[in-house]
Amino acid sequence: MTVKCSDWVLGGPERSIQTEFDLMCSENEWKMALIGSINSLGVLISVPVVGYFSDRYGRKIWLIVTLVASAILTLVKSAAFNYIFFIVFEFLEALFSGGIYGIAFVLALEYVSPKRRVALGDMIAAWSYTLGNIFVGVIAWALKDWRQILWVLNAPALLFIILIWLIPESIRWLLSQGRYGDAKEIFTKTLKYNKKQISKESQEKLDLWENTGSAITTSDGDESLWTSIKLVSKSRILIIRLFICFYCWIVITFVYYGLTLNSVNLAGTDDMYLNYIVASLADMPSALFTWVGMSKIGRRKTLCLTLLVSGLACFVNPFVPDDAMEFRVPLYVLGKLAIAGAFGVIYMINAEIFPTKLRTSLLGLCSMVGRIGNILAPLTPLLTKYSKFLPLSIFGVMALVAGGLAFLLPETKGRALPETVQDAENLGREQKSKESRSNSH
């Protein structure tokens, strides 16, 4: 006789929201997936809103506000007594935390000279995010209690309030706001700390700005998002490239976060914490490989290569026979490494194929559209009840298609950034004419 199960008997010391809020049953799996999607929705809203406030009121103050506010909201979330309470504060916390990375990235780049920006940006993008993921995995592995994990990860963030006295505001932002006296004060302190002397020419400029309030343009002529869309709509070539970028962004975010979330069920070991850490470690060498690739073979080929490698690794994984299980983990890690590299390349090529007046707004638009992938990724674990390999198959097909479409983008390596729509259109035309001439010979 078969008796329907009415309760779960759980072993081990783990305390999770699944067990506390009775989300273990199959009919409640969608509630677990919804948590990740709600978080991504909050981030989708946060990125442009927090970005606007940081441009309007300052990088430093909004970095501190977002850090402290997200920490407080997460600590409140750790006291959740039911699912609704938890998911509401998951969304509220994401409204602040979603903008932290962007503000910190911009502030760091505005602190340093142009020749150091590429190296610093690569280090921040590749290492800080990866180390954070690994740290989360280690803490979760050690504590195995979701409330304690949230406290350990977020309580120290309250100390970021002291950044008010430890870090300066961006001098570039101060100058753009006409606060020349404040900019001069920070500039002077920076020189003193580094034991440097200001040049006579720089001193004269600072004095002129402070005394006359001379206007300084730092926006590079960026257009509003709506104006950018109207300008692009007049160019068939740019429309095609924009939609290719849309698709690539969606696929990259979908596959990257999907592989991260599904890594806890990685074949070869039953330890979900170890699986997560191993998958996160795969991000670290990706920056080096993509940097070499972009420098040697170009942006377009590197983007295509990373997408195709990730797609093949994901697509082949389900077909590895059971007697060769040891190959599934390396293939999974290879797919994660390649898609992490694609993340860095899409930022670069996206910024280089559009004209100056549209560059910032279209990069922001593509990033926002890419958040669709973030929202969908948490839903992929639900597909495993139909087939445990279905998520990997979907990741593989989508990445392979994106890799093929990326070949239609122009190469930008060694080329000047396009200033006008005509310049941007000529990127592809010049490339095709060179290829046709070489083929004729």
Q: What is the mean pLDDT of residues 273-279?
A: 78
Across 221-230, 234-243, 381-390, least confident range? 221-230
What percent of the chain has pLDDT above 90? 26
| pLDDT digit string, tens, across residues 174-218 | 877 778 777 778 878 877 887 777 777 767 766 766 665 554 444
Residue 14: left if φ>0, alpha if ψ -120 to 50, beta else—which one? beta
Give residue 10's region: left, alpha or beta (phi > 0; psi -120 to 50): beta
Distance CA 172, CA 117 (A): 14
Question: Which of the pair, 384 or 8, is modelled with greater confidence?
Answer: 384
pTM flag (> 0.75): no
Residue in the structure block whose two tokens are 């003193």? 192
Say if residue 31 is exposed, middle or buried (CB neighbours under 10 Å; 0-12, 13-18, 19+).
Answer: middle
Q: Of 48-52, 140-144, 312-316, which has the strongest mean pLDDT?
A: 312-316
- Torsion angles phi and psi, residue 145, rounded to 5: -140, 115
Backbone region of residue 252 per phi and psi (left: phi > 0; alpha: psi in -120 to 50; beta: other values): alpha
Query: For the chain, what percent of residues have pLDDT higher than 70?
Result: 82
pLDDT for res 439? 53
User: Model confidence over 62-100: pLDDT tens digits?
Assistant: 999 999 999 999 999 999 999 999 999 999 999 998 888
Type of residue found at 345: V
Which CATH number does 222-429 carry? 1.20.1250.20
Instruction: Count CB-CB contacts under 10 A for residue 438.
Output: 8
Position 219 scores a pLDDT of: 43
For residue 266, name the pLDDT band (cuts at 50, 70, 90).
low
pLDDT at 217: 44
220 Cβ contact partners less than 8 Å away, ≥ 6 residues apart? 356, 359, 360
Please tell me the distance from the alpha carbon of residue 106 to that of residue 186, in angstroms, as a whole number: 18
Quote the tokens at residue 228.
Answer: 């950018």
Report the DSSP beta bridge partners of residue 145: 15
Fold entry, domain 14-173: Growth Hormone; Chain: A; (1.20.1250)
Mean pLDDT along residues 147-158: 93
The tens digit of pLDDT for each residue in 331-374 reads: 988 998 999 889 878 888 887 888 766 766 677 778 888 889 98
Angstrom distance (rounded) from CA 280 to CA 261: 11
Count the residues in the chain.
441
- Structure confidence by residue, pLDDT tens digits, 3-27: 555 554 555 567 888 888 887 777 7
> What is the residue-averaged pLDDT of the chain?
80
pLDDT band at 220 (very low <50, low <70, confident <90, very high): very low
Q: Is the pLDDT of residue 232 over 70?
A: yes
